[in-house]
Structure 1
Amino acid sequence: MGISRVVPIARKTPDYNKSRRSKTAMETSLPILNINDILHDADHFCLLDIGAGGLALMEQLHRPNFFSMLLLYHGTAKLYSEGKHLNLLPYQVVMNRPLVVNSLQIASESKGYLLCFTESFFSLRYNSNVLHQFSFYQAQQTVTFFQIPEREQYKWRTLLTFMLQEQMPAIPRRNALRSYLNILLQEAEILQGGNRTKTDAPPHKEKVMQFIQLVDQHYIRHKNPSYYAEKLHISQSYLNRLCKAQQALTSGQIIKQRVLLEAKRLLLHTPQSISEIAYTLGFESPSYFNTFFKKGVGAAPERYRKKES
């Protein structure tokens, strides 16, 4: 079942002034960071030598509008990501998804690489679904963290050095960069205990990945699984069976989890009132939002904010 019965979408004319105020508050407190904010004139891809600096914007709380991979080979760093605090040491890798709330503080003596790319950059050479077949980009997982064993460290440093060289010409060799990026993601998948990603994933698995991507795009306006089933040209009952088989959750539960995730982000990282958050997330009234949040989290929004802040 979807959550529309519990939290119906507004059928009356929305308060657009309130909506604008909510969005302004969210954008002020959680700025969206683009790749060209990190490296001027970069377009959908950049690889930075951390020793060269230039990462001040990432020290404040933000939402990156891109995928990222951070590898230190000397020094330390501190990462905050969705309530998690990670202390990074040499040859530990952190991989982040777009729009995950985080901040990054790198010690001045540290050296390493920060790789940033968008989905559209990767999909120009590979089918867009391939990116989401990597285990660390599935199931709404936010951050992936792992250690590179000593026997693999030289390989990673070499691949990233080659990528820097491909990026240096006046016109970067983008197809080569995409190929190296794919290799790095494959290597990360292996170190995570998975197999090399196959481009011919079973149709039912692709359907679930497509569903999760659609939920990410439309969960504010569409909270009923029937909308997504129609978009995917399958029945709602079949969508539920696929989700249970692949994610151990119903389609409605996946939508609820996505809404709850965004609600928690806004509660913890913006000054918005409970009412503003309710309208930002498409709820008809604050009371509907309070009921939904308390049922999903076990605490009222205000209590959750005070406890977790």
Structure 2
Amino acid sequence: MHKIPVRYINEALKEPGFSGGFSMRSLEDFMEGQDMLQALHRHTFYYVLVLEKASGEHTIDFTPYPVKDNTVFFMRPGQIHQLFLENGSRGYLLHFTDDFYAPAERAARQVLRSISTRNCFPMEQAQFSRLYQLLEIIHREYTEKQERYKQAIKSALDMVFLELLRQGGQPQPSDERPEYMQERLDELLELVEKHLPEHKQVAFYAAELHLSSYQLNTVTKTLLGKSCSALINDMIILEARRQLLATSNQVNQVAAMLGYEDVSYFIRFFKKHTGFSPEAFRSNFK
């Protein structure tokens, strides 16, 4: 059975000695005067691509995005993407792990969670210029590695992410999105990603979070506008699509990987939610 190729932070940035959970390169250095072409793969870390000047194609979790000047792409761990950038593109590529950037302040955590729900941030020139100045500060700190440079990088990242939140037009952390609910949702998403092949029932996750099924549904409906069951189904379908397009696994292997012993049931489930059988989906979209 084949698995989706996974990039780890050391190999992705070609820095075998790096162990601090953060890395940054200018695109000019990274591309070395050539086009960049990356086949479909998955990351275990946060991925931020900041494009001052660029053209190409970028697809994240099967959603195609235009590659334009003054654009930021943000990916959370576990997402898959494929990328083509033409030679001459300018900007920065940042990778960081949860271990490196784990803000202690509640508001900063909320900012990161909010921007993590979106992958593409096209920006106006003035706002992009402000953000790019912060990126240049981070690059200088990372390159020179003076005393307490990691602390300086984390402080600058706080500002970068706040700029992205402002650009996205999303609400600032407030009582409209209670911290308690957001924390339960984060815990739920982690649990579903971990236990999805074995557990697909709302009751299991409610028990793990010491909530009733009604309370858990209230959380997902308030923050996501959907029931917990719908969220679980969405995550099953997303991972099935990833496996069908990024590997050569047979449908029965994909079904088994997702915890379905009855392949026929999995096929019906997939078709109900996508309008395609797994084989038709693979043929039409690969």
TM-score in terms of structure 1 length: 0.81
Amino acid aligned to 1:272: N
CA offset digits 1:235-271 (Å, max 9, x no partner): 1121122222222211111111101110111112211
- What does residue range 262-273 of structure 1 map to in structure 2 within 5 Å? 262-273=239-250
Does the CA-based 8 Å contact 2:111-2:165 persist in structure 1?
no
Aligned with 2:249: secondary structure? coil
Partner of residue 75, structure 2: 96
Aligned with 1:104: secondary structure? strand
Shift in Å, 1:169: 3.6
Change (3 A) 1:84 1:44: same
Shift in Å, 1:197: 3.9
Does the CA-based 8 Å contact 1:67-1:98 persist in structure 2?
yes
Given candidates 169, 172, 186, the residue that maps to 1:209 is 186
Shift in Å, 1:202: 3.1
* Partners of 1:113 and 1:133 in 2: CA distance: 19
CA offset digits 1:153-178 (Å, max 9, x no partner): 33122101110121124576212211
Shift in Å, 1:72: 1.6
Change (3 A) 1:100 1:169: same
* Partners of 1:258 and 1:190 in 2: CA distance: 28
- The alignment status of 1:306 with 2:283, answered yes or no, reads yes
Partner of residue 280, structure 1: 257
Give the number of aligned pairs.
279
Shift in Å, 1:90: 1.6
Given candidates 152, 164, 169, the residue that maps to 1:176 is 152
Partner of residue 189, structure 1: 165
CA offset digits 1:272-299 (Å, max 9, x no partner): 0011111111112212211221222233
CA offset digits 1:73-102 (Å, max 9, x no partner): 134232122223333122111111222221
Partner of residue 14, structure 1: none
Given candidates 121, 136, 142, the residue that maps to 2:115 is 136
Partner of residue 157, structure 1: 132
Partner of residue 76, structure 1: 55
* Partners of 1:64 and 1:57 in 2: CA distance: 17
* Partners of 2:271 and 2:97 in 1: CA distance: 35
Q: What is the CA RMSD across the aligned residues, in angstroms?
A: 2.6
Aligned with 2:40: secondary structure? coil
Unaligned runs of 5+ in 2: none
Amino acid aligned to 1:36: N
Partner of residue 273, structure 2: 296
Amino acid aligned to 2:150: R
Amino acid aligned to 2:235: R
Amino acid aligned to 1:180: A
* Partners of 1:296 and 1:203 in 2: CA distance: 31
- The alignment status of 1:259 with 2:236, answered yes or no, reads yes
Change (3 A) 1:275 1:210: same
Partner of residue 6, structure 2: 32
Aligned with 1:98: secondary structure? coil
Aligned with 1:53: secondary structure? helix
Amino acid aligned to 2:122: Q
Pick 1 or 2: higher relative contact order, CA cutoff 8 A, min separation 6: 1
Unaligned runs of 5+ in 1: 1-21
Does the CA-based 8 Å contact 1:75-1:90 persist in structure 2?
yes
TM-score in terms of structure 2 length: 0.87
CA offset digits 1:3-59 (Å, max 9, x no partner): xxxxxxxxxxxxxxxxxxx2xx11xxx210111112313332111111102599961
- The alignment status of 1:167 with 2:146, answered yes or no, reads no
* Partners of 2:108 and 2:231 in 1: CA distance: 19
